[in-house]
Structure 1
């Protein structure tokens, strides 16, 4: 893991050239070697490091933006989505060139404020971890009203944002995905 200024780069030695490590050290970057741990993904190590960096700090306003987290190998994307689920108390946004994804924990009533100049209109809600016995939304072209969703049956994909505010309430954690305009 490389820490330089406010940026953190998580890598193990199998994916990072030794010359980069040496150059980073010479510039004063702190290098944390996590190459011994091959049982967790680089993103999971990075999020855990950020979480543990200041254990007494209120994390309610912490938001981690992960650029390049989508659009590559699907097994890596699935691993990144698993990190959202594993660290459900931290707001983590996975970003690609054309969409973003984040977790909506079941313990909250969510208000999503849409900035239509940079996001939308295509969106989706996908249950993760368990069946959503009941999901209710407002602000979508095809709103859900106490709708049951699960893999192998109903999931809300290819929906459209209709306004500047979306509300979501669900009995399970959901992935929120929305297109972005670059």
Structure 2
């Protein structure tokens, strides 16, 4: 049985994270909060532009450890600025993987055992749907790279991948929103059982074109999920 507190990285002062910043418009208050918890901060390609823009005249205080990508989005002057700040710039020209996946590989290589509780990718949703789907695909790749849970985070939602097996989700931080969902992405899940949700499943099949559990909600602070295939867990959280 695997246990996860999906939102603990937002509340626990002792919870250290690795932060990956993706190429989306950044919320200053959210990224500032995450930055203070991060022991390793990486920007994927064009996210470096957003990072510089977001912090504006405070940008000297918020310098990432590394910037990676094929650099088709990052502005040359942005890269030059961070090079001046001694940021490690790593070119990853391989076009078979997204900049996010390539950045994640490097971050996982740099992390020491038990150094962080979560890897948080800020900017995981919104904008182009193909980018959002690619980010979800990276959750599957992450299983082969690290045992540390990878969380996709946007301004009001978070998602992670539950591998096949038994899971306990502790939803007791006080930040939990009023919706959640379990989604079979990639292949059907033939045997899914849950407790702690408003609409529970009992040894049911989940598949696109058939049953998926969106627009669900929490009925308890402890949710259990048993599944024979990976499932995307997604939930809302309160921003204030």
**CA offset at residue 98 of structure 1?**
1.7
For 2:124, which of 40, 52, 69 is the aligned residue?
69
Q: Are positions 1:26 and 2:81 aligned together?
A: no
Distance 1:133 1:59 in 2: 33
Distance 1:178 1:111 in 2: 15
Moved over 6 A (4+): none
Q: RMSD of the TM alignment (CA)? A: 2.1
Structure 2, unmatched stretches of 5+, are: 1-19, 22-38, 46-69
**CA offset at residue 79 of structure 1?**
0.3
**Partner of 1:9 in structure 2?**
43
Distance 1:124 1:40 in 2: 27
Q: Are positions 1:115 and 2:201 aligned together?
A: no
Distance 1:60 1:111 in 2: 22
**Partner of 1:136 in structure 2?**
193
SS at match of 2:160: strand
Q: Are positions 1:40 and 2:97 aligned together?
A: yes
| TM-score using structure 2 length | 0.68
SS at match of 2:91: coil
| TM-score using structure 1 length | 0.89
Q: 1:103 to 1:158 in 2, by over 3 A?
A: same
Structure 1, unmatched stretches of 5+, are: none
Aligned residue-pair number: 176
SS at match of 2:214: strand
Task: Answer 1 or 2: which has greater helix percent.
Answer: 2
Partners of 2:172 and 2:222 within 8 A in 1:
no
**Partner of 2:61 in structure 1?**
none
Distance 1:146 1:28 in 2: 54
**CA offset at residue 60 of structure 1?**
9.3
Please give the per-residue CA displacement for 1:53-111, whole angstroms capped at 9, x wherever unaligned.
Answer: 25xx43696521111110111000000000001222441111111211100000x3111
Distance 1:49 1:152 in 2: 37
